[in-house]
Structure 1
Amino acid sequence: MSLAWPEVERRLGPLVEALRGADRIAVLGHVNPDLDSIGSVLALHLALAAAGKTSWPVTPDPGSPYWAFLPGHDRLVVGAPEWLRPDAVAVLDTEIAPERLGQAWALVERAALRLNLDHHDTNRGGADAALVEPAAAATGELVFYLVRALGVPVTPEIAACLYAAILTDTGSFRYANTTARTLALASALVATGVEPHEMATRIYDTRSWAYMKLLGRLLSRLERTEDGKVAWMWVRHEDAVEAGLLASEVEGLAQYPRMVEGVEVALLFKETEPGVVRVSLRSQRFVDVAAIARAFGGGGHVRAAGCTLTGSLEQAIERLVQACRQAVQREVMAGEGAGTSCGTGEE
């Protein structure tokens, strides 16, 4: 399959022009970063540096220490130090909003130009130049086309960052957002020098003893509704503190409730601090978890979303499980009324 994506390549024009006109550029990811955020930020930073720009890769919160192998990771700036004064900010993998940029928001306020590249359909806009394309499996896909539009070669270092972004946001190419274009792009990155086995080992198969012990404890807490359609686990604040783990290290645990046979919606509740609970939602086939997350002030994709609630962990579990239970029931009833099975959706 050709890597050409004419619609996206045409719409990249304003972003390319803006980046070429700026000299000092901060490339920002979102709070509680995943690898699509970190990988995309590092890839664009490396490309801008290759184009002769002064560039800084920025994250509001530290990512997992297991991501330190990515090229440029040692240059990541956390937050918005006073010395960092960019002409432009390029916000990736999220909308430009204080709650999504956390302690890095000050950089947006300092910069004269706001740029945005994202694949979330919940993006509300607010940039001077932007491209939001929900058909992309990952923001890393869009960064690939932006790098090419800038006239910068996709080096092995850039390719590694983009592959990590795409690999993880597609669930190792298992999610419904994986397309023929996604696989063709991954193939092109491998041809550039990415080692899929090494990448998968570093991202998925390397964890600390403390992490594995915590996982064992959490699996013993696995619960589900009576009909088996909704399953969940929870992490108390003291669990992560005792294990010495960052919030980003427990993010991927949402996959375990999702693996249970018969489960449609999986939930991971993470008490980030007493009275604050971050919830990761995943669905298999037909429930729009982004709609559920939006009802609680969050957002995301149809099959993967998140939100943050205030109050006790027990209250958060009760509210979200009930909302998911109702969403499943609505979809089941809608399918029965139509006389057809419920369809799949894009992540």
Structure 2
Amino acid sequence: MISDGFHYNKLPTNSLLFNGLNQQIMAANSILIISHQRPDGDSCGSSLALFNYLKTSGKNVAIFMADQPPSYFSFLPGLEVITGDRMLLNRQWDLVIVLDSSDWAHTQVKPSNLLRKMTINIDHHFSNNRFGDINCVDDLASSTCEIIYKFFTEIKLALNYQLATCLLCGILSDTGGFYNSATTIEAIKISARLIDQGAKMYKINNQVGRNRTINGLRLWGEVLARLKIDADLKIAYTYVREEEYKKYLINDEELDGLINFLNALTDVSISALFRINRNQTVVSLRTTKDNINVAQIAQLYGGGGHQKAAGFTLPYTLDEDSDLLSFLKKDNNRCML
């Protein structure tokens, strides 16, 4: 059974898809949930909400993520079940459900080595390549948590505080607290229902948004001090080096939010943050312009995301300043701007 995805305004199609998805879940005994590397609020929230449902349905279920979730998600019920133990990938699974990932590459899992009977792909990214046997992909949804909420609603699952907290965390994370372009009337209505079920919006915002340390802010200061703007392309860009994390004794997660902060700049079309590591360069892109699609740039380099927020990883190290600007001015990048 293969589905090419859906948009939620096609209600009969969604009803059939959600119920078909639930039939596959009920038919499986062992289920592995996988989400992308560098977990965020949506990947953690959707994975834990689905885990909760599967566990209470009597399934043998586990969650694999290549990286451990940031510590500021510790308030999420059940966060400790998320593991990066690759021994899980050597087991035989009846069903694998991949959440919030546009392709296999973002999970750091090789599908050819994964023993499973079926793969279900649930995602909201514009760049999703429909890699599942069943593809539940809605690029109009604010988040994967929004899709999981609609799935639970369709199968008439009663929500409790734990489920509501996980789902609201994902929606708030991917909408930037109802600040960015992913914010829709539907997302706000769903969030209101989740708050009605006991989720505490202010607590989630406090945990996720107020997580800076003094050393983390000092690093922000260094990164912002070398911010440059190219007037020709109207691009603001800066970088952070791997050794700077060690200098300030902080984790990579301390820089989460910096690229969104740069996106508030006026007279700039695109903001770019380069994380320069020993063997690779991680690039994050943001825009507020309706006529620019940064996901298309990311796809050129095996990445993905949304029209206004995307990223990718280069398998080599870029040098500071001159290399970064030269990369941004490549012909195939310029044509997207």
Residue 42 (structure 1) shift: 0.9
Deviations 1:143-193 (A, max 9, x none): 112223344322111111111111111121122221111110010111111
CA contact (8 A) 1:299 1:306 kept: yes
Q: Which residue matches 1:126?
A: 131
Q: Which residue matches 1:111?
A: 116
List, as ranges, runs of 4+ consecutive aligned residues in structure 1 with deviation greater than 6 Å.
none
Counterparts of 1:105 and 1:70, CA distance in 2: 28
| Residue 282 (1) aligns with residue 280 (2) | no
For residue 50 of structure 2, the aligned residue among 30, 37, 44 is: 44
| Residue 138 (1) aligns with residue 180 (2) | no
- TM-score scaled by length of structure 2: 0.88
Identity of aligned residues (%): 27
Q: Which residue matches 1:87?
A: 94
Residue 13 (structure 1) shift: 2.7
The count of corresponding residues between Structure 1 and Structure 2 is 325
| Residue 301 (1) aligns with residue 306 (2) | yes
| Residue 70 (1) aligns with residue 90 (2) | no
Q: Which amino acid aligns with 2:14?
A: V
User: After the TM superposition, which residues 262-277 of structure 1 pair with which residues of structure 2 at under 5 Å, given as runs?
Assistant: 262-271=267-276, 273-277=277-281
Deviations 1:231-280 (A, max 9, x none): 11211010123333333442322112212121220111112x31300001
Counterparts of 1:240 and 1:228, CA distance in 2: 30
For residue 230 of structure 2, the aligned residue among 211, 225, 229 is: 225
Cα RMSD (Å)? 2.5
Residue 112 (structure 1) shift: 1.7
Counterparts of 2:112 and 2:81, CA distance in 1: 17
Counterparts of 1:295 and 1:4, CA distance in 2: 30
Counterparts of 1:196 and 1:108, CA distance in 2: 40
Q: Which residue matches 1:317?
A: 324
Deviations 1:64-116 (A, max 9, x none): 1111111110111114225754321100011452x2211x4479712222111
Q: Which amino acid aligns with 1:213?
A: R
Identify if the C-alpha distance between structure 1 residues 107 and 40 changes in structure 2 by more than 3 Å, giving closer, same or farther. farther
CA contact (8 A) 1:234 1:270 kept: yes
- TM-score scaled by length of structure 1: 0.86
* Unmatched tracts of structure 1, length 5 or more: 332-347
Q: Which residue matches 2:39?
A: 33
Q: Which residue matches 1:59?
A: 65
* Unmatched tracts of structure 2, length 5 or more: 1-7
